[in-house]
Amino acid sequence: MIGIPRITKLSLEQRAPRALVMQLILSALLLAAAPYAASMEPFQRIFIDGSYDAPHSQDPLFLAKAGLVAGGLLIPVVSVLLTVTSWRRWTTHPGPALLQSALLLLTFVVGWRNYPYWATGVYRAYSSSPPGCAG
């Protein structure tokens, strides 16, 4: 390569760094749980009390929804830490570094942005008329 021997001294055929493998596993977990998170129904009391005043802790699926939201918010933070620690080593090949960047973006888009909406059912809550209404 062009004059940067420290970056190109590892080949792509060598074993992948642990941080990259961990990021792949975390991304796979997010994507595997996404259909379950997106299938969550909104808590029915939000149609009566509104989104902010509804007693969400009385929802029978509260723990599952809270766990999905917490996992969706925690995995991108862990992914940032893995990416930063991996990039600090100057022996990283550009290929895995670009893959880590893509996985970082994926975890933020799916976990940070979408999981809270999917798990709480907010995106479904106001897309149609409330249950029991003939509208």
Q: Mean pLDDT, to the nearest integer, of 81-96?
A: 76
Q: Mean pLDDT, to the nearest integer, of 29-38?
A: 91
Q: In sequence order, what DSSP letters do the residues of 26-95 get, joined into one string? A: HHHHHHHHHHHHHTPPPPTTHHHH-TTTS-GGGSTTHHHHHHHHHHHHHHHHHHHHHHHHHHHSTT--HH
**pLDDT on residue 72:** 93
| Identity of the highest mean pLDDT range in 19-23, 104-108, 130-134 | 104-108
Between residues 106 and 56, the one the model is more confident about = 106
Which tens digit of pLDDT belongs to each residue from 91-115?
A: 556 777 888 899 999 999 999 988 8
Q: State the DSSP code for 130.
A: P
pTM more than 0.85: no
**pLDDT on residue 80:** 93
What residues have CB less than 8 Å from 72, skipping those under 6 apart? 30, 37, 110, 111, 112, 114, 115, 116, 119
